[in-house]
Structure 1
Amino acid sequence: MKVPRKSPLTAVLALCLIVAGCSRPPANTWQGYVEGEFVYLASSQAGQLTELSVARGQTVAQDAPLFTLEARNETEAVAQANEQLRAARAQLADLGTGKRPPEVDVTRAQLVQAEADAARAATQYRRDELQLRAGGIAQSQLDDSRANALSSAARVRELQSQVSVARLPGRLEQIRAQQAQVDAAQAQLGQAQWKLDQKSVRAPHGGLVFDTMYRSGEWVPAGSPVVRLLPPENVKVRFFVPEAVVGSLAPGRHVSIHCDGCAADVPAVLSFISNQAEYTPPVIYSNENRSKLVFMVEAKPQPADAPKLRPGQPVMVTLQ
């Protein structure tokens, strides 16, 4: 039996169909792209950029220094707040100890002198009483001696009270007011220290330094990002699935990501499934064309695998 030979045109068409079939993605596989959620790191204070410790493409660890702004004014403010706090605390301690020992010693010396004067006055008063009985002095002289003795005794009691008061701490109201001054100085120091700390920014997470927006020596406004960081946990893959498939998906389902140049597929887990449908291409909705509805789905790889992917990179996602 003679087998009919195929014409050259038929062979070419068959080859085209085979190639087209091979280029078609397998079932449960869709095209997507890599996306990164960047962390823009800035200082709340303005200043000149004095040190940029990282470069684009560098991988940094958590708490690694990123950049430093000029901080002379903030440093002096911290020093001033420290001195004010030290002075407030010293005044509070002084109120709690009473007068200084040398001041108490002066009052005690005055008390010793007053006691001696009071003793002499009392002795003179007794003598004058005897002289008056003998008729040796007038009544007015005895009255003067009595007044001098009473005055000297009162002076002794006054100085004794001063010595007791000198040992006492300040009044409760004064101590409370000074404690409030100490608290205010402490708060002022905290504010000054916070502003100084803002001049040196460290990495809140480890990750890739995707870009730097300023060079050393440039003026950086407050709140303006200097470093754009991409932590590995912020890398994700976004793709779109048909309306007929989205109902079978749920967060936590495993997928594999294929990218050009990757040594092996990257495993990932579905992290988000959109509740809003989209059209591709744009059409007017009807029961006949609802198959053109697609839903956005996001998947996240493990942080260890995230550096294998680059934002904007096209990928193929296959459900497991």
Structure 2
Amino acid sequence: GLRKRQAISEEQYLADQIAAELAAVEVEQASERRVLSQARLDEAEAKLRAKQITSPHAGVVTEVLKHPGESVSVGSPVFRVDNPEWLHVTGKLDVGDCWRVRVGATVRVHVELDGVDLPIEHQRFAGKITFMDSKIDHETQMCTVIASVENRDSLPIAGLEAAMIITASPVDRSEESLHARTSK
């Protein structure tokens, strides 16, 4: 190289070699500092996430159950989040019908109001059975079913009495529908 041709002095060559080695050490140290800084950032983000409360589903906070300063234990509800686009409709099925209904069965729901005739009563809301209680109430001989139904226009119907028509499971190969007494 240049050193053999005496284009640079031995001292200059050694100084450049030391500078290159120092630069390599600085790069290695910077890389280690970056790894350490990333670990600190990850730890800070984890601490922040531990203090955040995130809903498991999309929706709107409809009720605050705990306020700043109140103690909260892990898993206890802090607020209620409802998705106005979907309603959970709870109904009761007669023991004879419980055997023909399965989770995933399609449902149609319509509001039933006594003493008034509102346009909402003529609308139908489609959905599916999402829960079926395996326990039959001894006194009433009924089981609980829950359906999720689409509330297309986010209508204010939660809490109203309704009728749920459940299409029987294909297991029994019948086309009959079942009626459940419901409330939203």
How does the TM-score come out when normalised to structure 1? 0.37
Amino acid at match of 1:267: F
Q: Does 1:227 align with 2:79?
A: yes
Residue among 178, 181, 187 paired with 2:33: 181
Give the drift of 1:238. 1.4
Q: Which has the higher contact order (CA 8 A, sep 6+)?
A: 1
Equivalent residues of 1:267, 1:301 under 8 A apart: yes
Higher strand content, 1 or 2? 2
Q: 1:307 to 1:195 in 2, by over 3 A?
A: farther
Give the drift of 1:239. 1.3
Where 1:304 maps in the other structure, the secondary structure is coil
Where 2:97 maps in the other structure, the secondary structure is helix
Q: Give me the CA root mean square deviation.
A: 3.8
Distance in 2, Cα, partners of 1:304 & 1:200 = 31
Where 1:219 maps in the other structure, the secondary structure is coil
Paired residues for 1:146-225 under 5 Å = 157=10, 159-170=11-22, 175-193=27-45, 195=47, 206-213=58-65, 218-219=68-69, 221=71
Residue among 252, 264, 272 paired with 2:105: 252
Aligned to 1:298: 146
Distance in 1, Cα, partners of 2:66 & 2:131 = 37
Note the residue ranges of structure 2 that are not aligned, 5 or more in a row: 1-8, 167-176, 178-184
Distance in 2, Cα, partners of 1:180 & 1:163 = 26
Aligned to 1:317: 164
Q: 1:208 to 1:189 in 2, by over 3 A?
A: closer
Q: 1:211 to 1:275 in 2, by over 3 A?
A: closer
Say which one has the larger Rg: 1
Note the residue ranges of structure 1 that are not aligned, 5 or more in a row: 1-155, 282-291
Residue among 126, 136, 140 paired with 1:278: 136
Amino acid at match of 2:163: M
Identical aligned residues as a percent: 15
Distance in 1, Cα, partners of 2:70 & 2:133 = 41
Distance in 2, Cα, partners of 1:160 & 1:177 = 25
Equivalent residues of 1:268, 1:299 under 8 A apart: no
Distance in 1, Cα, partners of 2:108 & 2:33 = 62
Residue among 90, 100, 108 paired with 1:238: 90
Deviations 1:207-258 (A, max 9, x none): 343212456xx42557675532112366311112123223443433232232
Deviations 1:281-316 (A, max 9, x none): 1xxxxxxxxxx63232222210425643325x4433
Where 1:160 maps in the other structure, the secondary structure is helix
Amino acid at match of 1:181: R
Deviations 1:14-44 (A, max 9, x none): xxxxxxxxxxxxxxxxxxxxxxxxxxxxxxx
Count residues in correspondence: 151
Equivalent residues of 2:131, 2:147 under 8 A apart: no
Equivalent residues of 1:259, 1:316 under 8 A apart: yes
Paired residues for 1:53-72 under 5 Å = none
